[in-house]
Amino acid sequence: MYNETLLMMPGPVPMPESIRNAMTRQAINHRSQEFGDCYADIVRILKPIFGTKNDMLVLSGSGTAGLEAAIGSFAKGKKIVSLANGKFGERFSQIAAIYGESLMIESEWGHPLKLEELKENLENGAEVVTLVHNETSAAILNPAREIGKLARKYDAIFILDAITSIGGDLVETDKWEADVAIVGSQKCLAAPAGLAAVSVSQRAWDRLSEARPFYLDLKKAKKLADNKPMETPTTPAVPLFLALREACKLIEVEGIENRIARHHKMSAAVRAAGVAWGLVPVPQTDELHKASNTVTGFFYPTGIEDSQIRGFCKKMNIEFAGGQDRFRGKIFRIGNMGIIDAPEILVTVAAVQMAFKKIGYKLEDDGLAAAIEILSS
Amino acid sequence: MYNETLLMMPGPVPMPESIRNAMTRQAINHRSQEFGDCYADIVRILKPIFGTKNDMLVLSGSGTAGLEAAIGSFAKGKKIVSLANGKFGERFSQIAAIYGESLMIESEWGHPLKLEELKENLENGAEVVTLVHNETSAAILNPAREIGKLARKYDAIFILDAITSIGGDLVETDKWEADVAIVGSQKCLAAPAGLAAVSVSQRAWDRLSEARPFYLDLKKAKKLADNKPMETPTTPAVPLFLALREACKLIEVEGIENRIARHHKMSAAVRAAGVAWGLVPVPQTDELHKASNTVTGFFYPTGIEDSQIRGFCKKMNIEFAGGQDRFRGKIFRIGNMGIIDAPEILVTVAAVQMAFKKIGYKLEDDGLAAAIEILSS
């Protein structure tokens, strides 16, 4: 009934067979050595991928659940500044507004963040800073290191949404002074959707909120994770833990440096194709703000409909993302998260080129050749 | 490294192969017809199992997440009365205390609830009533119908935790006037842990709280579920949805009446065994309060250690539950949720009998024979 589709989305992403098969394990008691070992393996492998020695907790919920756990556990009633240059930055601010005194410092989607404005707010007593590291809605990579430095200078807690960067791009949680960092399972880790891993610094624990949500209480998660064997406060989504462990093991085998280099190369190939085609990239980069290395976005030329390009490719079972909200119909975004390698990039770039040819739109140059140039280097 | 264990717990429970294999599907876009169809199948099949025509939403989180979603969406700032005669009743009250003015009406664990006290509180303006239908910690089945009637009489919202009863015992959400009812995936539905299904009445929607949590906001879940194809607000745990759909289909094949009859028979067999052994049942039943039909609990005779019975069986790879919190070491509980049938009951009852024999404890009578009597009827 449904065909296999090549998912070139900024998550969820294709999963290797061994990850999917890990979920077929018969039900186990989640208060057992077997489950505790699985949790411990995930934490052991994820810590260096996060670049952290902090505590690491895994929650049965999406990346968004991880963000809310961070805000709900550490930012309740506080002055929270959220930097936003895309949909997920804005959404982080919405979550913040539920728990604290929230202020959003907004840029145009895909435009550089306003660090001067952040600085002013920190001078005026902002206690928590939230940042989306890799803003997929606008395919931009934000300067986490510099923002972390600013937050620390003013003694604010820095919460880093690294949902779509960890496991595919460089994240140095401790060096960047991120008190809380969050990853989602179905992005660069290439595991199934449904889990969030969250790292928490001692500085954050020292400022724990007194009233916290129940399901997403990080303090309780920490208390149970400290048990031997490791446990979770409520029944965890066991099959997803087993799959995430397998995904982590595959990352260990590849090596995180190799994996990041691969992500950089794949996104560079897509960027090269788009530039050769003469399309305008979505992100406005500067010294600090770079194009994302895990998803690449371009504006459609005037008069081109989303259905003509993305719809055409989808009919060939190649699915990448369009624009969200204010970018709907205006951009397309090709993800290269997880296990995406040269073959998937080749076929996707070729399909886009074919779609433009099909409608008789004259592209500037041969994007596929430009991608091949990068991929074969 | 780990052996297959027969899980006779009050959840998680053994899963048929087809349910486990459903999770191996390659990643799909969760904003697609395929995912929407899966969600729609679950809702279609679950509604009659809940006994409801209300809206049905599936959350990527444990049963506890479902409870918090109900409280956070409909009870914020309200006077909430929680009836408790076990661990989960108490925990529901803890969740209520985070969001509203919470009062717990406490009974001894496994003893009847205090309906007179509930009535007084309703007369004095209680706006929300929470109840754990099947309190597994004390193996007691609470009178949801009567409590629903009381709540409605005083125009209170009735939130029914049916996490461990729906799919294995009779639940009539609409007849019992439960405005919100919650089931967990890894209990009587025999699906993997990690999802909660929540039904919501129009009466509850009419009293929606203004400030709601983000991840567990039922209003947003409803808004996205109303899309065609059906969607979720944040990325759902797709493999768990696929598995839950398969679990629902198996229930459809068995027929919910047959399934409930099977659960009743299996628990009756375990009860008969315990009574024949001369053990004291955990629940104190009366006209309204019954022994659970999905988990059966007995006190250990004085001097018997948990490890001598439960530990012994666990070494034979038969795992059932001990007591929680104040019942730790004092009781054992044998679950019969999901697909548990005569063979699993036979081997478990026989193993317990063997454990008592092993330590030279003289049981009153032959429990296995009593169980067989029931099972063969």
The pLDDT value given to residue A4 = 82
Which member of B27, B33, B63 has the closest CB to residue A13? B27
B153: tokens are: 């009489």
DSSP-assigned beta bridge partners for residue A147: none
**C-alpha dist (Å) from residue B88 to A218, A224, B116:** 20, 18, 21
CATH superfamily, domain B6-10+255-375, is: Aspartate Aminotransferase, domain 1 (3.90.1150.10)
- CATH topology for A17-254 is Aspartate Aminotransferase; domain 2 (3.40.640)
**Which residue bears the tokens 């001369």?**
B278
Please give the ipTM for the structure prediction: 0.97
Residues forming CATH 3.40.640.10 domain(s) in chain B: 17-254
Residue A3 has pLDDT above 70, yes or no: no
**Which chain A residue shows the shortest CA-CA distance from B9?**
A29
Residue A2 has pLDDT above 60, yes or no: no
Average pLDDT rounded to a whole number, residues A14-23: 97
User: Is B90 at the interface with chain A, CB within 8 A?
Assistant: no
B101-106 and B55-60 as β-strands: parallel, antiparallel, unpaired?
unpaired
Reported as a single tens digit per residue, the pLDDT across A323-343 is 999 999 999 999 999 999 999
- The residue among B62, B219, B231 with the most chain A CBs within 10 A of its CB, best to mutate, is B62
The residues of chain B scoring below 50 in pLDDT are: 1
Provide the shortest C-alpha distance from residue B21 to chain A (in Å): 6
3-state secondary structure of A66: helix
Residues forming CATH 3.90.1150.10 domain(s) in chain B: 6-10+255-375
Q: How far apart are CA B213 and CA A215, in angstroms?
A: 11
Closest CA to A56 of B193, A69, B225, A64: A69
Residues of A whose CB is below 8 A from B184: 235
Q: How far apart are CA A155 and CA A151, in angstroms?
A: 6
This prediction has a pTM of 0.98
Reported as a single tens digit per residue, the pLDDT across A161-217 is 999 999 999 999 999 999 999 999 999 999 999 999 999 999 999 999 999 999 999
As a whole-number percent, the residues of chain A with pLDDT over 70 amount to 99
Provide the shortest C-alpha distance from residue B126 to chain A (in Å): 22
CATH superfamily, domain A6-10+256-375, is: Aspartate Aminotransferase, domain 1 (3.90.1150.10)
CB-CB under 8 Å, B30 with A12: yes
Residues of B whose CB is below 8 A from A94: 214
Question: Are the beta carbons of A80 and A72 closer than 8 angstroms?
Answer: no
The pLDDT value given to residue B197 = 98
Provide the shortest C-alpha distance from residue B142 to chain A (in Å): 22
Residues forming CATH 3.90.1150.10 domain(s) in chain A: 6-10+256-375
The pLDDT value given to residue A122 = 98
CB-CB under 8 Å, A15 with B27: yes
Three-state DSSP string of A273-315: HHHHHCCCECCCCCCCCEECCCEEEEECCCCCCHHHHHHHHHH
Please name the residues between 210 and 239 in chain B that touch chain A, using a CB distance below 8 Å. Answer: 211-216, 234-239
The pLDDT value given to residue A1 = 40
CB-CB under 8 Å, B23 with A24: yes
Q: How far apart are CA B166 and CA A325, in angstroms?
A: 39
User: Is A198 at the interface with chain B, CB within 8 A?
Assistant: no
A187: tokens are: 């992005």
Provide the shortest C-alpha distance from residue A6 to chain B (in Å): 9
Residues of A whose CB is below 8 A from B2: 28, 33-34
Question: Are the beta carbons of B214 and A68 closer than 8 angstroms?
Answer: yes
Reported as a single tens digit per residue, the pLDDT across A76-127 is 999 999 999 999 999 999 999 999 999 999 999 999 999 999 999 999 999 9
Q: How far apart are CA A204 and CA A11, in angstroms?
A: 29
Q: Which helix (DSSP H) or strand (DSSP E) does residue A195 occupy?
A: strand A195-200
Reported as a single tens digit per residue, the pLDDT across A52-90 is 999 999 999 999 999 999 999 999 999 999 999 999 999
Q: Within a 10 A sphere around the Cβ of B344, how many other Cβ atoms?
A: 20
CB-CB under 8 Å, B9 with A194: no
Residue A39 has pLDDT above 90, yes or no: yes
* Averaged confidence pLDDT in chain B: 97
Average pLDDT rounded to a whole number, residues A139-168: 98
